[in-house]
Amino acid sequence: MPLAMNRDVFITCAVTGAGDTVSRSSHVPITPKQIAESAIDAAKAGAAVVHCHVRDPGTGAASRRNDLYREVTDRIRSADIDVVLNLTAGMGGDLIFGDVESPLPLNAKGTDMVGASERVSHIAECLPEICTLDCGTMNFNLGDYVMTNTPAMLRAMASKMTALGVRPEIEAFDTGHLWFAKQLAEEGLIEDPVLIQLCMGIPWGAPDDLNTFMAMVNNVPASWTFSAFSIGRNAMAYPAAAVLAGGNVRVGLEDNLFVGKGQFATNAQLVKKAVQVVEGMGARIIGPEDVRKKLKLTKR
């Protein structure tokens, strides 16, 4: 399809993630206070949306504790700057099998698999404007685990999110995930306007070369809104690719620790760099109120 550059762009900052990045950069926020402060700094730098995971304050490991989500939510909402809050609902779907000859029983050390209601319990409590829905199952290179999201699980989670009045952000790691997102929309489990995040370059989902990226873009219905990001060496090139392809931008320490070669970054620095790229292309950065209007979000 012909490229139609996006002229009104919103930036999402993925603040901390769930990966083992704490030991690699001192800028990765760990405690609810640190996560909220980093999110607020990102908003002041130009992010209209902040996407938040939480971590165990003592160890830095990924967590699903509702009290941590509540503290992050309260701190961000009481800040002196407006921003759209996007909480993850991707936790609780990790399977790690035994060895290749004896895959069962599962490896209990890394497996974290719970039901749909528990996976969205913090969403029901905190009521963010957006929450993520990882729209498929995928092998993850890191830790040799399977991100597990069955069709029944996804239908149940999507239904609960929609009933709560929270806009699901569909996380698509491959083209089949977009296919199932269309099915969810057809069944009325997700409502217009549909929001998609194209997650590129994550082993072993869709690689981040431009041919594959455009295959993903070309499978997004024209009426849907999409953002895109890549991890690793192409992370800071992807804002330009996403905008040129008609989409929006995601950056942040969940995806990438560096603002330049060997230069560890803060979330605010990554957002500022993305703002420079987008504005340098002649596009306009839009704020949280414009995002709410575009996506029909309920401010809380």
Tokens representing 215 are 């295959």
The 10s digit of each residue's pLDDT in 140-169 is 877 688 999 999 999 999 999 999 999 999
- pLDDT of the residue at 2: 52
Contacts of 115 (CB under 8 A, 6+ apart): none
> What phi and psi values does residue 284 have, to the nearest 5 degrees?
-110, 135
Tell me what the pLDDT averaged over the chain comes to: 96
- pLDDT of the residue at 30: 98
**pLDDT band at residue 14, thresholds of 50, 70 and 90?**
very high
Q: Which of 29-33, 98-102, 114-118, 178-182 has the lowest mean pLDDT?
A: 98-102
Distance CA 110, CA 113 (A): 10
| Percent of the chain residues topping a pLDDT of 90 | 91
Q: Is the pLDDT of residue 242 over 90?
A: yes
CB 151 within 8 A of CB 189: no
Q: How many domains does the chain have?
A: 1
**pLDDT band at residue 110, thresholds of 50, 70 and 90?**
confident
Would 196 be classed as within a structural domain? Answer: yes
CATH number, domain with residue 291: 3.20.20.70
pTM, whole model, 2 decimals?
A: 0.96
Q: Strand, helix or coil at 238?
A: helix
Q: Which of 45-59, 93-107, 156-170, 244-258 has the lowest mean pLDDT?
A: 93-107
Would 202 be classed as within a structural domain? Answer: yes
- Domain with 97, as residue range(s), is 8-295
257-263-269-271 Cα dihedral, nearest 10 degrees: -50
Distance CA 12, CA 52 (A): 10
Q: Is the pLDDT of residue 284 over 60?
A: yes
Taking residues 6-31, what's their average pLDDT?
A: 97
Would 96 be classed as within a structural domain? Answer: yes
Q: Which of 23-37, 131-145, 180-194, 284-298 has the lowest mean pLDDT?
A: 131-145
Would 300 be classed as within a structural domain? Answer: no
Sign of CA dihedral 46, 52, 57, 60: negative
Would 3 be classed as within a structural domain? Answer: no
> What phi and psi values does residue 35 have, to the nearest 5 degrees?
-65, -45
Helix residue ranges, H only, 127-203: 151-164, 175-186
- pLDDT of the residue at 113: 93
Tokens representing 204 are 């072993």
Contacts of 271 (CB under 8 A, 6+ apart): 11, 13, 42, 45, 46, 47, 251, 252
Would 247 be classed as within a structural domain? Answer: yes
- pLDDT of the residue at 108: 87
Contacts of 30 (CB under 8 A, 6+ apart): 16, 22, 55, 56, 57, 60
Would 146 be classed as within a structural domain? Answer: yes
Taking residues 29-57, what's their average pLDDT?
A: 99
Would 2 be classed as within a structural domain? Answer: no
With CA atoms as reference, report the closest residue to 79 among 38, 46, 20, 139.
38
> What phi and psi values does residue 183 have, to the nearest 5 degrees?
-65, -45
The 10s digit of each residue's pLDDT in 177-236 is 999 999 999 999 999 999 999 999 999 999 999 999 999 999 999 999 999 999 978 999
Tokens representing 188 are 């009325």
